[in-house]
Amino acid sequence: MVTPRLILVLGDQLSDDLSALREGDSARDVVVMAEVQAETDYVPHHPKKIAFLFAAMRKHAAHLREIGWQVRYTTLDDPENTQSIPGELLRAADATGAQEAIGTEPGEFRLIAALEDGPLPVHLFPDDRFLCGHAEFDAWAEGRKELRMEWFYREMRRKTGLMMEGDKPAGGRWNYDQENRKPPPKGLSCDGPLRHDSDDVTRDVLALVRDRFGNRYGSLDGFWFATDRTGALAALDHFIGQSLPHFGDYQDAMVKGQPFLHHAILSVYMNAGLLGWREVCEAAEAAWKAGDVPINAAEGFIRQIIGWREYIRGIYFREGPDYTLRNVLGADRDLPEFYWSGDTDMRCMNECITATMEEAYAHHIQRLMVTGNFALLAGIDPHQVHEWYLVVYADAYEWVESPNVIGMSQFADGGVVGSKPYVSGGNYINRMSDYCKSCSYVVSRKAGEDACPFNLLYWNFLDRHRDRFERNPRMAQMYRTWDRMDDDHRRTVLSEGDTILAKLDRGDRV
Ligand code: FAD
Ligand code: DLZ
Ligand code: SF4
């Protein structure tokens, strides 16, 4: 008898066209999939994320069996479960006589190291479900003073031919952002994502997850994610028909009680492998070609995927395992408790945090300009901020979460991802949302008891980091504005900002 090899398929590798499966032999090899505590607990993931992945893993295992693979699947409550991926590989090797395993490179250095250092030899193949491999990204990055996404994106447009006319971008421009990012008009609303009913598999998983993880942060109620490829394709169709036409216009808008607006809500499916970048982008391009979607929406959406998503992954693997420990601004304040409860008088923070607890989702601007902006202004330890984002979002894996948080949002990498920190006072949030209207603070107040904390902390941040940022050409204007204010006002603003920071340190309500 020929000795089988094990083929590891992880929870975010639920794709038929996976390099490890391509390298395997269904007549001989055994696919190993396992629900394990090491993965549910290395950070205490939101229960909706765990339920989504377990249900999707169980259905993918059934699908792989249907197409001819032998699959060894361990459920979390199996009494023999060793509760780690290397442990389950070893147990499968004992049971099958396999001497080695193959896999597709995981999306976190932590797990790559655990497999490389594990007791069974594991050969990892590149994860070619992405458009840009590590060597290609490094070749693009090599010798550049700044790794700006826009230049990378243009290469990816040329490489894919998406929205290209010959070697020119469709419509004559690479980027239609000037037409995007409008403030929300009164009454802006959207039906949101396609909601999927539970079936027996999902119901079993929900019961297990409620039993094991029901007491941790995040709500399991109202679970509606798709948990297989058919459902994910239906979600893609729904987005293209319903929301893509407005995606560009209202990409940055925030409206109370409307966490999804016209966003895709596809990252959860794409990052688990249920959808691929090409089919998603081609669907958007086809809708534009058919005249159903304006060019600014289609281009803006495709840029998020072949631009931002690929660029962010390139940064993660290029920067290396110590990336999540970077902290160039020396921020060392503990993450305030209200990030876990939403218990704050700041309406914007309350709205984004409570929606996150409910849905394991917030859109980009809520992540960047509300929760991320506040953490940066308040000098929160970026590693704690990183762990929070990894816990709370259903689409979070370190390869995509950490460059967004450590780099884009917290500037803790010193400018690898962004040329300047994404900070703003309350004005930006007021322009792009309806949050401030129902806030206890007054967004137009720059000082005083009820002044918006974002306003106070904005100047406090710029003042604290003057040496680093005042010569940055994109920030010089802000320092000039600050310097023109009268001394008394500046002293008041700084001392009231310090009062808020002291309240955060004491755990007082803000
Ligand atoms: P849409 O806004 O509709 O965008 C369409 C698609 O573009 C997304 O599905 C996603 O695949 C891709 N995309 C857009 N922006 C980015 C980006 N900056 N990086 C990578 N892909 C992008 N995205 C994650 O997938 N996982 C994360 O853990 C994550 N953490 C983030 C943390 C912070 C602080 C910030 C600022 C952004 C983070 N993002 C993350 C990026 C972005 O917020 C999400 O991809 C997006 O909100 C997902 O929702 P959507 O599918 O509705 O996306
Ligand atoms: C996120 C996650 C969770 C919660 N649980 C599992 C699991 O039980 N089994 C598994 O194979 N994968 C899980 N995952 C996804 C992995 O954490 C993911 O593959 C790595 O973080 C690399 O991206
Ligand atoms: Fe947020 Fe300030 Fe607006 Fe309140 S006033 S919602 S704290 S930006």
Contact criterion met (CB below 8 Å) for 224 and 361: no
Contact criterion met (CB below 8 Å) for 264 and 247: yes
Which helix H or strand E contains 154, and what residues bound it? helix 149-160
Question: pLDDT per residue over 228-269, tens digit each?
Answer: 999 999 999 999 999 999 887 888 999 999 899 989 999 999
Ligand 2 center–CA 39 separation, angstroms: 5
Question: pLDDT per residue over 458-482, tens digit each?
Answer: 999 999 999 999 999 999 999 999 9
pLDDT interval class at 393 (50, 70, 90): very high
- According to CATH, where is 1.25.40.80 located in the chain? 134-319
- Tokens at 69, concatenated: 């693979």
State the pTM of this model: 0.97
Q: Is 435 in the pocket of ligand 2 (CB under 6 A)?
A: no
Determine what percent of the chain is predicted with pLDDT higher than 70: 100
Q: Is 11 in the pocket of ligand 2 (CB under 6 A)?
A: yes
End-to-end CA distance of the chain: 68
Per-residue model confidence (pLDDT) at position 250: 86
Mean pLDDT of 71-94: 98
Cβ-count burial 103-139 (b if 16+ within 10 Å, e if not): bbbbbbbebbebbeebebebebeebebbbbebebbee
Mean pLDDT of 349-366: 97
pLDDT higher than 80, residue 112: yes
Ligand 1 center–CA 267 separation, angstroms: 6
Question: pLDDT per residue over 29-44, tens digit each?
Answer: 999 999 999 999 999 9
Mean pLDDT, the chain, integer? 96
Ligand 1 center–CA 247 separation, angstroms: 14
Which of 43, 243, 306, 364 for a ligand 1 pocket mutation test, highest count of atoms within 8 Å of Cβ? 364
Per-residue model confidence (pLDDT) at position 249: 84
Question: pLDDT per residue over 422-469, tens digit each?
Answer: 999 999 999 999 999 999 999 999 999 999 999 999 999 999 999 999
Q: Which residue puts its alpha carbon closest to atom 1 of ligand 3?
A: 348
Mean pLDDT of 313-325: 97
- According to CATH, where is 1.10.579.10 located in the chain? 338-506
pLDDT higher than 80, residue 9: yes
Residues shown for the chain: 510
pLDDT higher than 90, residue 164: yes
pLDDT interval class at 505 (50, 70, 90): very high
Per-residue model confidence (pLDDT) at position 2: 84
Q: How far apart are CA 482 and CA 87, in angstroms?
A: 57
Mean pLDDT of 186-212: 93
Q: Is 10 in the pocket of ligand 2 (CB under 6 A)?
A: yes
Per-residue model confidence (pLDDT) at position 463: 97
Mean pLDDT of 375-392: 98
pLDDT higher than 90, residue 110: yes
- CA 439 from centre of chain: 27
| Helices and strands in the chain, H and E counts | 25, 7
134-319: CATH topology: 1.25.40
pLDDT higher than 80, residue 399: yes
Atom from ligand 3 closest to the CA of residue 438 = 6
pLDDT interval class at 210 (50, 70, 90): very high
Q: How far apart are CA 300 and CA 298, in angstroms?
A: 6
Mean pLDDT of 128-135: 98
Question: Which region holds residue 442: left if phi is over 0, alpha if psi is between -120 and 50, else beta?
Answer: beta
The CATH homologous superfamily for domain 338-506 is: DNA Cyclobutane Dipyrimidine Photolyase, subunit A, domain 3 (1.10.579.10)
- Tokens at 264, concatenated: 């895709």
Per-residue model confidence (pLDDT) at position 247: 86
Per-residue model confidence (pLDDT) at position 470: 94
Per-residue model confidence (pLDDT) at position 491: 97
Which of 9, 12, 111 for a ligand 2 pocket mutation test, highest count of atoms within 8 Å of Cβ? 12
Atom from ligand 1 closest to the CA of residue 264 = 3
Per-residue model confidence (pLDDT) at position 192: 87
pLDDT higher than 80, residue 180: no
Question: pLDDT per residue over 269-287, tens digit each?
Answer: 999 999 999 999 999 999 9
Per-residue model confidence (pLDDT) at position 116: 95
pLDDT interval class at 380 (50, 70, 90): very high
- According to CATH, where is 3.40.50.620 located in the chain? 6-125
Q: Which residue puts its alpha carbon closest to atom 13 of ligand 1?
A: 304
Q: Which CATH number fits domain 6-125: 3.40.50.620, 3.30.420.40, 3.40.630.40, 3.40.109.10?
A: 3.40.50.620
